[in-house]
Structure 1
């Protein structure tokens, strides 16, 4: 059954990628609108997350943000489907602006390992192609459950000569080894880790269990950290890629200081582009001792 489902999904993705860009965006917006207006689990999770992270908004303001967020989530889904199937060069043609490229170039020229740090903001699939066009990193990812979809993504994500590493013990070790030998890697900073692999630090007005993995690789300036995001442009034509050097505090050998600094950077980007974050993700599943579950 899983094999049939996988083939069906891959076939649908390939057909979908034949559509013109305007149609991809219209369908994405429609999917988001339906997720907002129908009693979906995604809508419930977005409402819960936004109620905790933006308590200063009025009920009406927050509900409008729920709708806009789901619209952007819908567009992220359909636009990512294209990035999974298109040649990398076609996806890269949608990158209209780049800010801070010199930061990445300086990091690559440093002779140290480079850790590209992103989050579930904007379109990380397009960002993957952009990053891989600048260097040949190992991209760290969580494999989808369907084998056929995983095989498609593995193939599409390495079009530019880079490699991928699943979020397994072997994958983690390959990422660490790549950084130690002076190579480059790409890692999302915001997936919720296990409690042993993370710390609760301030994030968007609450506490969030946040991974120690990235700060651990940077500690003591053993590697260079660069934040990267591909943000959707208001005119719908494509994306602006923003690159920024990791703050000095992220190189601290004090784990809490470094993890907090990483969390603060991600928070700043989310507050600047709140609707483009994947609020349907159960980012706050684990709570500090004594606090009730959100979901």
Structure 2
């Protein structure tokens, strides 16, 4: 498998994205459960099908571009394959030297965001630290571990040690990256509305901001058509005040993620099981939508 990854890593993005688009549609056609979840998530979001339909191919492109993203030589810079919108927001936040938290949903090429930030703003002494879950497949772990540790980019496992690593980075004025629409393990999240439906949502992102006083920005990597590359968009984030409860903070962040997803629904990972229960949690713990809104102060 490693040989296949290395072989595909040499392909141009144009071919990888073409292959991935086809694979995305084949997966959608072959898997009834994936297809139903995809359609159900789009319906919950209240978006027209025509706007979300391109995400079927985009999901395949996300997989196909992975070898290039992970195994591209470290000295091969993104260069012309990348353009920025809002980079000045990162520059201003870093100038304050109070740490920076970057949040991105499963939208577009989220892997490119960390690499782009590392290449432009970071170095070995002041890297961007990204939270990740170790690969479940034993053969994949060495690839993931080696490929994500690029110049200016450090990784922190989704463990207590990883959380401490991220807190240290913020207190040293460095940058960290998180995907807050990832379902956390039991006990590490709260139920908060996501497109109007209760979703178990991580509290880590808000806690890091509240505990360290770090700046907060939103970022996402748009996959450009025809394998042209990527556009990284940086946007202001809502304020996460210290006095916000975990439920209120999670609802605030979810609303920001919704706003970003509505910008490019054709590149969101609608097949992701966002509304699943965390392992070991009683299903009765998931409140009804009205109850969830009341708990987060939306119906005061």
TM-score, normalised with respect to structure 2: 0.84
Contact 1:227 1:245 survives alignment (8 Å):
yes
Q: Work out the number of aligned pairs and report it.
A: 277
Q: Provide structure 2 residue ranges, at least 5 long, that are not aligned to the other structure.
A: 278-282, 290-300
Structure 1 residues 112 and 126: alpha-carbon distance in aligned structure 2, compared to 1, 3 A threshold: same
Aligned counterparts of 1:283 and 1:89: Cα–Cα separation in 2: 36
Aligned counterparts of 2:15 and 2:237: Cα–Cα separation in 1: 37
Identify the range of structure 1 (273-282 vs 180-189) with the bigger mean alpha-carbon deviation. 180-189
Is the partner of 1:196 in helix, strand or coil?
coil
Structure 1 residues 19 and 95: alpha-carbon distance in aligned structure 2, compared to 1, 3 A threshold: closer
Aligned counterparts of 1:254 and 1:82: Cα–Cα separation in 2: 41
The match for 1:122 is 108
The match for 1:72 is 58
Structure 1 residues 44 and 113: alpha-carbon distance in aligned structure 2, compared to 1, 3 A threshold: same
Q: Using the TM superposition, give the Cα deviation of residue 214 of structure 1 relative to its aligned residue in structure 2, in angstroms.
A: 0.9
Aligned counterparts of 2:157 and 2:258: Cα–Cα separation in 1: 25
Aligned counterparts of 1:174 and 1:24: Cα–Cα separation in 2: 35
Is the partner of 1:251 in helix, strand or coil?
coil
The answer to whether the aligner puts 1:163 opposite 2:154 as a matched pair is yes
Aligned partner of 1:182 among 173, 196, 199:
173
The match for 2:41 is 49
Two-structure CA RMSD over aligned residues (Å): 2.3
Aligned counterparts of 2:226 and 2:53: Cα–Cα separation in 1: 18
Is the partner of 1:165 in helix, strand or coil?
strand
Q: Provide structure 1 residue ranges, at least 5 long, that are not aligned to the other structure.
A: 1-7
- Runs of 4 or more, structure 1, over 6 Å off, are none
Aligned partner of 1:245 among 220, 236, 252:
236
The answer to whether the aligner puts 1:209 opposite 2:200 as a matched pair is yes
Structure 1 residues 228 and 277: alpha-carbon distance in aligned structure 2, compared to 1, 3 A threshold: same
Structure 1 residues 173 and 100: alpha-carbon distance in aligned structure 2, compared to 1, 3 A threshold: same
Aligned partner of 1:260 among 248, 251, 254:
251
Aligned partner of 2:118 among 103, 123, 132:
132
The match for 1:4 is none
Q: Using the TM superposition, give the Cα deviation of residue 161 of structure 1 relative to its aligned residue in structure 2, in angstroms.
A: 3.2
Aligned counterparts of 1:203 and 1:237: Cα–Cα separation in 2: 32
Contact 2:102 2:218 survives alignment (8 Å):
yes
The match for 2:292 is none
The match for 1:82 is 68
TM-score, normalised with respect to structure 1: 0.85
